[in-house]
């Protein structure tokens, strides 16, 4: 199970954008394990990523690699 911070590491958007995507049903809504704690199953995120157009996935992958290189 992934917390929102972990999801944001996998999905290259900000917290506000992610919440908007959830509201518009463009991203898995996750599961509340307590009144204020939401988690996502990693396989749900992977399924969502797999449903994106191939060009979009390549761009996002390149962005993550570039960001990782900047952190070193």
pLDDT in tens, 7-40: 999 998 999 999 999 999 999 999 999 999 999 9
Contact 37, 4 (CB under 8 A): no
Q: How far is CA 15 from the centre of its chain?
A: 10
Q: How many domains does the chain have?
A: 1
Check pLDDT > 70 for residue 66: yes
DSSP 3-state of 32: strand
DSSP 3-state of 53: coil
Q: What is the model's pTM?
A: 0.69
Q: 11: domain range?
A: 4-71
């Amino acid at each position: 199970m992934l917390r929102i911070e972990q999801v944001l590491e996998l999905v290259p958007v900000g917290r506000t954008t992610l919440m908007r995507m959830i509201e518009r049903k463009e991203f898995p809504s996750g599961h509340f394990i307590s009144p204020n704690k939401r988690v996502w199953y990693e396989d749900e995120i992977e399924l969502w990523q797999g449903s994106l157009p191939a060009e979009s996935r390549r761009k996002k992958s390149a962005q993550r690699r570039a960001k990782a290189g900047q952190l070193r």
